[in-house]
Amino acid sequence: MTSEIWTETFRPSTFKEMVGQEDIVNRVEALANSLNIPHLLFAGPAGTGKSTLALIVVKELFKNTWKDNYLELNASDERGINIVREKVKDFARTKSLGDVPFKVIFLDEADALTPEAQQALRRTMENYSTTCRFILSCNYSSKIIDPIQSRCAIFRFKLLENKAIGKVIDRIAKTKDLSISPGTYEILYEGCEGDCRRCINLLQATAAISPAITPELISTIISNAKPKDIKVVLEYALSGDFKNSREKLLDVMLKESISGQDTIKAIQKEIWNLPIEPEVKVKLTEKTGEVEFRIVEGSDPFIQLEALLASFVLAGMGK
């Protein structure tokens, strides 16, 4: 096993290698082939190909001189107005090298920019539009001010589907001589939740243990609450046995080192597999959301989860 990082090794380098975002890729490829692009805003969850597509666009535009005409900044590292006044403006005001009449600045995690920095960025995008194009990447486009959004062509990325994740797994398995056991695809997809980067990291971590990738190995790496364990916890609670339900839940969380938020997610998924009335499932889902919010806000996870189990006990008693 080499020291390479698989997420970089298997990063797509052409439009054809991109998976799961075909509609967006086709439209962006058409813009790049015309050797002229507007300002672009890529919005969507992590690990869905936003940064990769930006890099492909730049390489397609500038070919061998792309490094001289491209500036990548992570806005979460430098959030203030100085990043726009200094680095961005200095790069934007100089002419490009080659046939393409503009440079490209890629601002990753642009939703981390402060409102003041975004206002400064708006003016920079306006003043240097002839010599520079911006590609902004963010998880939440709602955190980008409207004047910037109106200056950009917005592309909304979605979580990758099982089929797209499967293509990535097959390509890696073929290159690295890995054997994938039945059922592995499903548990990998469940563990990464549509995040391709996380899927590749899980696969690399598992391959470091054994080239034979099995669902059991993946489960060891993921360290998520097992559905069957959560099912036992909830069945105890619905039967009115609060004590055993509580003890089983604490046992699952402590032995598997599972956080309160991960436990809440596992409970939320398992609610819909329980043999109870749909109305009760809806009420318990609502209660689960309330407890999750409290945990996020800083409440003690154990106390909040115990309160949630108490709700399940009451639901089992018809109250």
Length of the chain in residues, anyone?
319
Per-residue pLDDT reduced to its tens digit, 273-303: 888 888 888 989 999 999 999 998 888 888 9
pLDDT at 78 over 70: no
Give the Å distances, CA to CA, from 157 to 22, 46, 165, 262, 306. 10, 9, 15, 24, 37
What's the pLDDT at 133? 92
Q: How many CA atoms lie within 13 A of 78 on its CB side?
A: 12
Per-residue pLDDT reduced to its tens digit, 213-257: 888 888 777 766 677 788 888 888 888 899 999 998 888 888 777
pLDDT at 51 over 50: yes
Q: How many CA atoms lie within 13 A of 84 on its CB side?
A: 21
Which residue bears the tokens 């499932």? Answer: 281
What's the pLDDT at 225? 62
What pTM did the predictor assign? 0.78
Per-residue pLDDT reduced to its tens digit, 251-280: 888 877 778 888 888 888 888 888 888 888
Alpha-carbon span 158 to 302, nearest angstrom: 33
Give the mean pLDDT of the chain. 87
- Say if domain 21-156 classifies as CATH 3.40.50.300: yes
16-38 average pLDDT score: 91
Q: Which CATH number fits domain 162-222: 1.10.287.3510, 3.10.20.810, 1.10.8.60, 3.30.70.2190?
A: 1.10.8.60
What's the pLDDT at 190? 81
Domains 21-156 and 162-222 share a fold: no
Contact 54, 66 (CB under 8 A): no
Look up the CATH architecture of domain 227-316. Up-down Bundle (1.20)
pLDDT at 1 over 50: no
Q: What percent of the chain has pLDDT over 90?
A: 32
pLDDT at 99 over 90: no
What's the pLDDT at 139? 92
Per-residue pLDDT reduced to its tens digit, 145-199: 999 999 999 999 999 998 899 999 999 999 999 998 888 888 888 888 888 998 9
Domain spans of the chain, in order of start: 21-156, 162-222, 227-316
What's the pLDDT at 3? 64
pLDDT at 2 over 60: no
